[in-house]
């Protein structure tokens, strides 16, 4: 028992006080107990300035389990978590239940980040073992955030706020993550919140634009279509890469709005191009988990008046991996409507050839990482050759991404690759510049912006 608690019992606790400091479900202390403990420790440590640590532990995916198996099962899990935490924390530490599926731990003898991380890994492992619910076992993971007194906050409120920031940082990175609060993390969180606000405003004010990069026939340089790429220039931050703001919109839950705005603009631009040219548009991986994606896409095409057979949708392997059944339905529905599906960034990430068998794609885009290495690395050349041969056998079209030199183009042609995209043929440019580019190719085709 910690010094603070000894003092409390020495003073004599009546029953009402016990109830006021106890979480009725788990029997652990509650937030009042936590506040008391931290306040007392802060006072003690004012004389003996050794740091101490507070941890927040939040279960990942607890709500769906609660919804699926009922609140009794949820309560049972929370009690088991409470037991496990009490059993595994180091001597002198106390566990409280903060709220819902969140627990707090005060660690008087953890003084620095490495120690916090060690405890974090132990807790994470202990909580990831299956939970016995009588007739079934359930598995959960936990996210953790640590804050070290006094660096992360000298009083209860500011210390807890820092622990919450650390926990939020963990949650953002996915399940089972551990974060120890630092001023860099706080700054990163502030920056991404600012970025989110600016992006939301940019969408409302119609400031997010779409640019187009040609996809060409390598044999004669003829343009076959364009890939639409999102572009955003913030008045304060300047150019922000879609590789930053697309994942942010996914994470903060407004990728649908962003993507719909972009598809609308891209489809309108495509209407001004010669009919035989296709539009290639990137779908985000989050959209592949939402069954409404197919109908939303078709509605936009309908509103704009673009023939679905002129649209290619680019998706990545991660997108189809997360919820394979939903992704498969979306792909089927889109293909039935005449839209083609491209597998983007092929060869990177969680590549599996099985994906090419399990899903129906029309096209594979070989990632730029392979193309930029192809001229000076024999192994890469063999891999690209194998991908091209395999796609031919599977009746899939192949596009090489990121071609920057004539040598790369010639090598790809000799390997049997027919389509390519990259700075060598053209950088992404806005709708007007795209029309000018086309009018040069099509011998002064009249512009209809």
Interface residues with ligand C2E (CB under 6 A)?
213, 228-230, 241-243, 246, 259, 262, 282-284, 314, 344-345, 368, 401-402, 404, 421-423, 428
Quick one: how far is CA 239 from the chain centroid?
A: 21
Q: How many CB atoms lie within 10 A of CB 377?
A: 13
Cβ at position 386, least distance to ligand C2E in Å: 21
Residue 404 touches which of Mg ion, ligand C2E, none (Cβ within 5-8 Å per kind): ligand C2E
Nearer to ligand C2E (CB atom), residue 105 or residue 283: 283
Residue 442 touches which of Mg ion, ligand C2E, none (Cβ within 5-8 Å per kind): none
**Contact in structure between 401 and 371 (CB atoms under 8 Å):** yes
Among 314, 381, 397, 408, binds Mg ion (CB under 5 A): 314
- At 361, list the tokens: 């794609």
Nearer to Mg ion (CB atom), residue 21 or residue 346: 346
Nearer to ligand C2E (CB atom), residue 55 or residue 228: 228
Residue 229 touches which of ligand C2E, Mg ion, none (Cβ within 5-8 Å per kind): ligand C2E
* Residues 259-288 interacting with Mg ion (rule: CB under 5 A): 282
**Contact in structure between 76 and 84 (CB atoms under 8 Å):** no
Of 48-56, 175-183, 394-402, 419-427, the window that binds Mg ion (rule: CB under 5 A) is: 394-402
* Eight-state DSSP code of residue 14: -
How many residues bind Mg ion, per CB under 5 A? 5
Residue 124 touches which of ligand C2E, Mg ion, none (Cβ within 5-8 Å per kind): none
- At residue 373's C-alpha, the angle toward residues 367 and 379, to 5°, is 100
Cβ at position 101, least distance to ligand C2E in Å: 31
**Contact in structure between 228 and 310 (CB atoms under 8 Å):** no
Which of 170, 84, 168, 179 lies closest to 125, judged by CA?
84
Residue 80 touches which of Mg ion, ligand C2E, none (Cβ within 5-8 Å per kind): none
**Contact in structure between 265 and 305 (CB atoms under 8 Å):** no
Q: Is 345 in the site for Mg ion (CB under 5 A)?
A: yes
State how beta strands 419-421 and 397-400 pair: parallel
Cβ at position 368, least distance to Mg ion in Å: 7
* Residues 196-255 interacting with Mg ion (rule: CB under 5 A): none
Please list, in sequence order, all residues whose beta carbon lies within 8 angstroms of the beta carbon of residue 4, skipping any fewer than 6 positions away.
Answer: 36, 37, 40, 41, 44
Among 312, 344, 381, 408, binds Mg ion (CB under 5 A): 344
DSSP letters for 278-335: EEEEEPPTGGGG-TTHHHHHHHHHHHHT--GGGEEEEE-HHHHHHTHHHHHHHHHHHH
Nearer to Mg ion (CB atom), residue 146 or residue 226: 226
Nearer to Mg ion (CB atom), residue 53 or residue 280: 280
Nearer to ligand C2E (CB atom), residue 94 or residue 246: 246
Nearer to Mg ion (CB atom), residue 142 or residue 400: 400
Tell how many helices (H) and how many strands (E) occur in the chain. Answer: 18, 16
Query: Residue 94 forms beta bridges with which residues?
Result: 106
Residues of the shown chain interacting with Mg ion in the complex, contacts defined by CB under 5 A? 282, 314, 344-345, 401
């Amino acid at each position: 028992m910690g010094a603070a608690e000894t003092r409390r019992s020495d003073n004599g606790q009546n029953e009402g006080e016990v109830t006021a400091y106890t979480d009725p479900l788990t029997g652990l202390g509650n937030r009042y107990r936590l506040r008391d403990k931290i306040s007392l420790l802060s006072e003690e440590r004012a004389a003996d300035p050794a740091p101490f640590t507070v941890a927040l532990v939040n279960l990942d995916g607890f709500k769906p389990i609660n919804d699926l198996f009922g609140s009794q099962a949820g309560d049972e899990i929370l009690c088991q978590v409470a037991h496990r935490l009490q059993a595994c924390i180091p001597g002198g530490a106390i566990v409280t239940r903060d709220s819902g599926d969140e627990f707090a731990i005060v660690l008087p003898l953890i003084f620095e980040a490495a120690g916090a991380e060690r405890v974090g890994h132990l807790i994470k492992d202990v909580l990831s073992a299956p939970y016995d619910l009588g007739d079934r076992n359930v598995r959960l993971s936990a996210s953790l955030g640590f804050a070290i007194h006094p660096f992360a906050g000298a009083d209860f409120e500011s210390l807890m706020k820092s622990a919450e920031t650390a926990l939020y940082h963990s949650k953002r990175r996915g399940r089972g993550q551990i974060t120890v609060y630092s001023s860099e993390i706080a700054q990163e969180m502030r920056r991404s919140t600012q970025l989110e606000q600016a992006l939301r405003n940019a969408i409302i004010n119609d400031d997010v634009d779409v640019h187009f990069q040609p996809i060409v026939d390598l044999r004669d340089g003829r343009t076959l279509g364009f890939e639409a790429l999102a572009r955003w220039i913030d008045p304060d931050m300047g150019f922000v890469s879609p590789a930053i703001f697309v994942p942010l919109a996914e994470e903060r839950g407004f990728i649908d709005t962003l993507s719909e705005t972009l598809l609308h603009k891209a489809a309108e631009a495509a209407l001004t191009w010669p009919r035989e040219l296709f539009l290639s548009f990137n779908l985000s991986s989050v959209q592949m988990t939402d069954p409404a994606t197919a109908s939303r896409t078709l509605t936009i095409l309908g509103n704009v008046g673009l023939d679905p057979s002129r649209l290619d949708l680019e998706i990545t392997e991660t997108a189809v991996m997360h919820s394979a059944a939903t992704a498969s339905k979306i792909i089927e529905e889109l293909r039935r409507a005449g839209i083609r599906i491209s597998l983007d960034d092929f060869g990177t990430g969680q590549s599996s050839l099985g994906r090419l068998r399990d899903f129906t794609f029309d096209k594979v885009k070989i990632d730029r990482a392979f193309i930029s290495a192809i001229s000076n690395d024999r192994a890469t050349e063999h891999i690209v050759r194998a991908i091209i041969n395999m796609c031919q056998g599977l009746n899939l079209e192949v596009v090489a991404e990121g071609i920057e030199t004539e040598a790369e183009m010639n090598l790809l042609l000799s390997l049997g690759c027919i389509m390519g995209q990259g700075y060598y043929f053209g950088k992404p440019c806005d709708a007007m510049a795209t029309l000018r580019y086309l009018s040069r190719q099509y011998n002064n085709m009249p512009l209809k912006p």
